[in-house]
């Protein structure tokens, strides 16, 4: 029978409860924050500001693609009309 690992927040809460009664909560808190920062720095993540900037660029790009598709469609219709007239 395999044992399921509890989620990290449950572990953090349990550790918090254990150390809050011992008086070393501040030191443990600093260590846990440093450990979390180290773990996050190893992940391939971006800041919220970078995400928002890229989302804005993507939105402008999508709008430009829609405009270009409409223009291409119009030019194609005009070209087909000219071809039929010849």
pTM of this structure: 0.51
SS3 category, 27: helix
Beta carbons within 8 Å of 47's beta carbon, 6+ residues apart: none
Domain boundaries, the chain: 8-45, 46-86
**Can you tell me the distance from the alpha carbon of 42 to that of 39, in angstroms, rounded to the nearest whole number?**
5
Write out pLDDT tens, residues 12-67.
Answer: 777 777 777 666 777 877 888 898 888 888 888 888 999 999 999 999 999 999 99
What pLDDT was estimated at residue 6?
A: 73
Residue 8 C-beta-side C-alpha neighbours within 13 Å = 4
Listed in sequence order, the DSSP H helices in the chain are 8-20, 25-42, 48-85
């Amino acid at each position: 029978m395999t044992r399921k690992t509890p989620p990290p927040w449950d572990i953090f809460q349990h550790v918090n409860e254990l150390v809050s009664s011992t008086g070393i909560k501040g030191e443990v808190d600093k260590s846990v924050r440093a450990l979390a920062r180290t773990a996050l720095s190893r992940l391939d993540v971006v800041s919220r500001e970078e995400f928002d900037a890229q989302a804005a660029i993507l939105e402008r790009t999508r709008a430009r693609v829609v405009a270009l598709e409409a223009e291409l469609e119009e030019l194609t219709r005009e070209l087909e009309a000219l071809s039929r007239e010849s």
